[in-house]
């Protein structure tokens, strides 16, 4: 990743260069997901009962990745975000992100999440939570009212209803009768937004890589379309967005992982990365032409992922408004 800088409080030096252990985590995840693409990607996982590969989830548990964010000896939140980035790169639906966010919100569930029990995060209003990922597969729900969270076993919910969504993760409307005693929620929304940013960075990188490869293979007028200046400009703009998205996202992730105030960085990251990912997908479609819109091509999975992810844990407008408040704009 390779970036150094003083944090805005003038304290610890921020270093986004990956350590050997972090590079190992990232490389192992990339190799595993590349090997499981035919059995765990969005193209096939949607047919699974829970909307994700149960076999791949079992491998995550055996590798200790479900507990990576909670154990300093194993890694931490930044290391978990490297996994989310690779999930986004390969468009692999998984309850890993929402389960980890639950653990960040409610330390009492971390042992269960580490053991492989699926948890999902739900923001409830008047007893109903909309767009709850993996609710039909969840062993428990971490439910927030905005200021506190409660842990609700799956057997205690009133109903779980599948919703029709554009994204890759299955979403549900969940009704709760009553919530048990709550504990402070902490900064769970920030952890969730930052984690989604990491996933979006991986997706954007995949679109860039696929587009550059296609531009070198597809010929028009007797030469590769990658030799045309307009196509080169598109690819260059995509690369700028991907690089910027990675640095902005991991600055927020780095601060969260070290327990530093990251409200401003998370607001910047979620608003900017959400839009950058969609720009990258739009340019990718322009370079690919009609083939990118077909069901046979994988580009549309990333486009769907970009649209849905932009709305998760606050859309760009929400985070832009939050940023304006944080920096004192009227």
pLDDT at 6: 52
pLDDT at 10: 53
Residues 6+ apart with CB under 8 A from 62: none
* Parent domain of 177: 116-184
Query: For 296-313, what is the mean pLDDT?
Result: 96
Residues 6+ apart with CB under 8 A from 13: 4, 5, 6, 7
Can you tell me the distance from the alpha carbon of 156 to that of 122, in angstroms, rounded to the nearest whole number? 14
Both tokens of 4, joined, read: 């150094």
One domain for residues 88 and 130: no
Check which CATH number belongs to the domain holding 285 and give it: 1.20.140.10
CA dihedral 250, 254, 260, 263 (to 10 degrees): 10
Q: Residue 110 falls within a domain, yes or no?
A: no
Can you tell me the distance from the alpha carbon of 51 to that of 169, in angstroms, rounded to the nearest whole number? 7
Q: How many domains does the chain have?
A: 3
pLDDT at 187: 77
pTM (global) more than 0.85? yes
Tell whether the model's pLDDT for residue 250 goes beyond 60.
yes
One domain for residues 313 and 295: yes
Report residue 3: phi and psi, to 5°: -150, 135
One domain for residues 230 and 315: yes
One domain for residues 220 and 93: no
pLDDT at 16: 86
pLDDT per position as a tens digit, 196-240: 999 999 999 999 999 999 999 998 898 999 999 999 999 999 999
Predicted confidence band of residue 145 (pLDDT cuts 50, 70, 90): confident
Residue 74: HSE in the Cβ half-sphere, 13 Å Cα cutoff = 14
DSSP string computed for 95-158: THHHHHHHHHH-GGGHHHHHTT--EEEEEEETTEEEEEETGGG-SEEEEE-SSEEEEEEGGGEE
Can you tell me the distance from the alpha carbon of 270 to that of 252, in angstroms, rounded to the nearest whole number? 9
Residue 234: HSE in the Cβ half-sphere, 13 Å Cα cutoff = 25
Can you tell me the distance from the alpha carbon of 317 to that of 158, in angstroms, rounded to the nearest whole number? 33
One domain for residues 284 and 197: yes
Among the candidates 143, 168, 184, a domain finishes at 184
One domain for residues 306 and 202: yes
Report residue 159: phi and psi, to 5°: -160, 155
pLDDT at 260: 92
Check which CATH number belongs to the domain holding 46 and give it: 1.10.540.10
pLDDT per position as a tens digit, 11-40: 677 888 899 999 999 999 999 999 999 999
pLDDT at 130: 96
Can you tell me the distance from the alpha carbon of 194 to that of 310, in angstroms, rounded to the nearest whole number? 12
Among the candidates 184, 199, 216, a domain finishes at 184
3-state secondary structure of 178: coil
Can you tell me the distance from the alpha carbon of 199 to that of 144, in angstroms, rounded to the nearest whole number? 23
Query: For 44-48, what is the mean pLDDT?
Result: 89
């Amino acid at each position: 990743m390779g970036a150094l800088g003083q944090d805005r409080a003038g304290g610890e030096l921020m270093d986004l260069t990956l350590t050997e252990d972090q590079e190992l985590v990232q490389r192992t995840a990339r190799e595993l997901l590349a090997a499981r693409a035919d059995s765990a990607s969005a193209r096939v996982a949607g047919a699974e009962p829970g909307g994700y590969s149960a076999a791949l989830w079992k491998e995550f548990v055996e590798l200790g990745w479900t507990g990576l964010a909670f154990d300093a000896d194993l890694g931490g939140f930044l290391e978990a975000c490297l996994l989310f980035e690779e999930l986004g790169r390969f468009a692999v639906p998984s309850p890993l992100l929402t389960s980890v966010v639950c653990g960040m919100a409610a330390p009492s569930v971390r042992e269960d999440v580490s053991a492989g029990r699926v948890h999902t995060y739900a923001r409830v209003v008047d007893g109903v939570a909309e767009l709850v990922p993996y609710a039909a597969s969840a062993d428990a729900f971490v439910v927030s009212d905005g200021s506190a969270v409660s842990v609700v076993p799956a057997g205690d919910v009133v109903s779980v209803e599948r919703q029709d969504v554009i994204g890759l993760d299955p979403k549900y409307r969940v009704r709760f009768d009553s919530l048990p005693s709550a504990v402070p929620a902490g900064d769970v929304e920030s952890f969730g937004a930052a984690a989604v940013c990491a996933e979006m960075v991986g997706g954007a990188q995949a679109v860039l890589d696929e587009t550059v490869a296609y531009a070198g293979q597809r010929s028009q007028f007797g030469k590769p379309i990658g030799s045309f200046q307009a196509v080169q400009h598109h690819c260059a703009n995509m690369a700028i967005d991907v690089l910027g998205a990675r640095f902005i996202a991991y600055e927020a992730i780095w601060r969260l992982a070290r327990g530093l105030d990251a409200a401003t960085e998370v607001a910047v990251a979620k608003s900017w990365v959400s839009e950058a990912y969609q720009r990258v997908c739009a340019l990718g479609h322009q370079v690919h032409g009609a083939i990118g819109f077909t069901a046979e091509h994988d580009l549309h999975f990333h486009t769907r992922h970009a649209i849905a992810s932009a709305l998760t844990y606050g859309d760009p407008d929400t985070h832009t408004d939050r940023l304006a408040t944080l920096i004192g704009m009227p």
